Amino acid sequence: MGDQADKLRKIVENLGSPVNAGVQDQRKGAAKVITVTSGKGGVGKTNITVNLAIALSKMGFKVAILDVDFGFANVDVMLGVTAKYTLLELIRGERNILEVLTDGPCNIQFLSGGSGVEELIQLDKEHIGEFISSISFLDRLFDVILIDTGAGLSRNIMSFILAADEVLLVTTPEPTAITDAYAMIKMISKQDKHRIVKLVVNKAESYKEANDILDKLLMVSDKFLSFRLQKTGYILKDECIPKAVKQQKPFFISYPKSQASHQITELAINLFSNNESMNPTNTYGKGIRGFFSRLLNSYGVQH
């Protein structure tokens, strides 16, 4: 834990601790938007999203989750909290941004997507402008926004991937999960060679197994796609994870001293420990406003 604490201290020093009041000025109103996705279902993507959000919050970041997994939206189930409203009410102008945010544990907040995006792309220009103006307020409230998508290569999911500042791609040691992760990397590389894709292996039996998978995917992506992935972390199998899921509590809260909690903290640190990711206050992606602008552009929607 000593090594981890040293890394964290260095990051916080480089940031100018996000806990302090000056973070609003540093951030200039642009949150870092990270899409968390996977090539196939069942790899633990939502579990990683929820626990990563809490780990980042404990590090001092203001964090929100936007749940846009339309088929199996279950961030609220993982948190044991029921969302009263969804993105749909915001899009329809029935509720404001503060009303549709739901409080989660450890100061994180989340916004349930519902079927909001399908409705969003049907709006006229005036109403889209109103929505973008409303959703932009999140940039003033949060440092990091994690977008929890569905799994697979559908147009919706690819749009969320290409609209984000960065992508956290989750796979497991299962051959089908690795194959599907590579198919997703291939598709991303075809559409945007400069996209930042960070790789995490979940449910590995050992450090060696996790590292072998990370190295193999990095090697084949570089060799055959000329696309560079970033090795970001791994979560080994841990009996506390299924226990926490049954309790409807994030394992980071239920079992803070577990191996899984230690590894999710390492993952949170690694997210901000290289290149431009070092500072979540940069305005590279223009925050959630930029995210939704790019998302709408991908559907050919004028705004």
Structural domains of the chain, count: 1
Q: How far apart are CA 210 and CA 215, in angstroms?
A: 9
220 occurs within a structural domain:
no
Q: What is the pLDDT of residue 171?
A: 98
- Other beta carbons within 10 Å of 234: 23
What's the CA gap between 35 and 65, in Å, rounded? Answer: 10
β-strand 63-67 against 32-38: which pairing, if any? unpaired
Residue 200: inside a domain: no
Q: Which residues constitute the domain of residue 151?
A: 2-6+31-169+251-298
Question: Mean pLDDT throughout 42-49?
Answer: 94
**Does residue 157 lie in a domain region?**
yes
Helix, strand or coil, per DSSP, at residue 213? helix
Q: How far is it, in rounded angstroms, from Cα 271 to Cα 264?
A: 11
Better pLDDT: 169 or 69: 169
Q: Answer yes or no: is 289 within a domain.
A: yes
> What's the whole-number mean pLDDT along residues 176-191?
96
Q: What is the predicted pLDDT for the residue at 19?
A: 40
Distances 134 to 86, 91, 129, 131 between C-alpha atoms, Å: 14, 9, 9, 5
pLDDT tops 50 at residue 25? no
Report yes or no: 56 and 137 within 8 Å, Cβ to Cβ.
Answer: no
**What pLDDT digit, counting tens, does each position of 250-301 carry?**
999 999 999 999 999 999 999 987 644 444 444 456 899 999 999 988 888 7
pLDDT at 281: 47
If pLDDT is split at 50, 70 and 90, which confidence band does 69 have? confident
Angstrom distance (rounded) from CA 263 to CA 258: 9
Q: Is the pLDDT of residue 18 over 50?
A: no
Q: How are strands ordered across the β-sheet holding 230-236?
A: 102-103, 109-112, 63-67, 144-151, 32-38, 166-171, 196-204, 230-236
pLDDT in tens, 132-151: 899 999 999 999 999 998 88
Q: Which of 295, 2, 297 is nearest to 149 (CA)?
A: 295
Contact residues for 176 (Cβ-Cβ < 8 A; gap 6+)? 40
Average pLDDT over residues 106-133: 84
Q: How confident is the model at residue 120 (pLDDT cuts 50, 70, 90)?
A: confident
The Cα 28–Cα 241 span in angstroms is: 37
Comparing 70-79, 108-117, 207-216, which segment has the lowest mean pLDDT?
70-79
Confidence at residue 282, expressed as pLDDT on a 0 to 100 scale = 47
Is the model's pLDDT at 228 over the cut of 80? yes
**221 lies in some domain:** no
What percentage of the chain exceeds 70 in pLDDT? 83
Share of the chain above pLDDT 90, in %: 60
The answer to whether the Cα torsion of 16, 22, 23, 26 is positive or negative is: negative
pLDDT at 26: 40
What CATH number is given to the structural domain containing 147? 3.40.50.300
Coil, strand or helix: which one is 211? helix
In a domain, 94, yes or no: yes
Mean of pLDDT over the chain:
86
pLDDT of amino acid 230 = 96
Tokens standing for 87?
């993105």
Query: For residues 109 and 146, is the Cβ–Cβ distance under 8 A?
Result: no
What is the model's pTM? 0.88
pLDDT value at 173 more than 70: yes
Q: Is residue 142 part of a domain?
A: yes
Is 177 inside any structural domain?
no
